[in-house]
């Protein structure tokens, strides 16, 4: 890992991250602030004292997690449209805005067989693995 040890500010300022706003020297606050580098280039990371936001205010924002994601508590989907869980481009589960939940329909012999506790739609029928 690179170090800032023995470097002057002019040699390292671009590598420093800040949440500076219009009022200098405020640090993190309850209002959200974009993380920027030493040149003021904005990142897709936003912070405040309560939460982290990745992306933008756009509905098309993307959060990419490489590795495992562990959630303690609720997972909430904001907005009024459908929420879809995908693997690649293939929809596995869709929670419709109407309250209906749709599962991928397994039709191929190459698909895995549901295990105990699994919910699956096979050839159009809903199954619980026991």
Residue 61 shares a structural domain with residue 92: no
Residue 20 shares a structural domain with residue 62: yes
Burial class (CB in 10 A: 0-12, 13-18, 19+), 37: middle
Q: What separation in angstroms does the CA of 21 have from each of 18, 36, 91?
A: 9, 10, 40
* Predicted local confidence at residue 109, as pLDDT: 61
In the predicted model, residues of the chain with pLDDT beneath 70 are: 1-2, 56-62, 64, 107-112
φ and ψ of 91, to 5 deg: -70, 125
pTM, whole model, 2 decimals? 0.54
Query: Strand 33-37 relative to strand 17-18: parallel, antiparallel, unpaired?
Result: antiparallel
Give me the domain span that covers residue 56. Answer: 10-70
Residue 92 shares a structural domain with residue 118: yes
Residue 101 shares a structural domain with residue 63: no
Residue 56 shares a structural domain with residue 87: no
* Predicted local confidence at residue 57, as pLDDT: 53
* Predicted local confidence at residue 10, as pLDDT: 84
């Amino acid at each position: 890992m690179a170090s800032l040890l023995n470097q002057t500010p002019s040699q390292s300022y671009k590598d420093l991250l800040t949440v500076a706003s219009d009022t200098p020297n405020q640090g993190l606050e309850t209002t959200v602030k974009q993380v920027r580098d030493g040149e003021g280039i904005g990142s897709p990371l936003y912070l405040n004292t309560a939460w982290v936001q990745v992306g933008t205010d756009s509905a098309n924002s993307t959060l990419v997690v490489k590795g495992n994601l562990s959630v303690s508590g609720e997972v909430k989907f904001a907005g009024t449209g459908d929420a879809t869980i995908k693997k690649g481009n293939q929809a596995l589960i869709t929670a419709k805005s109407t309250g209906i939940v749709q599962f991928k329909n397994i039709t191929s012999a190459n698909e895995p067989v549901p295990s105990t506790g699994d919910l699956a739609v096979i050839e159009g029928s809903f199954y619980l693995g026991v």
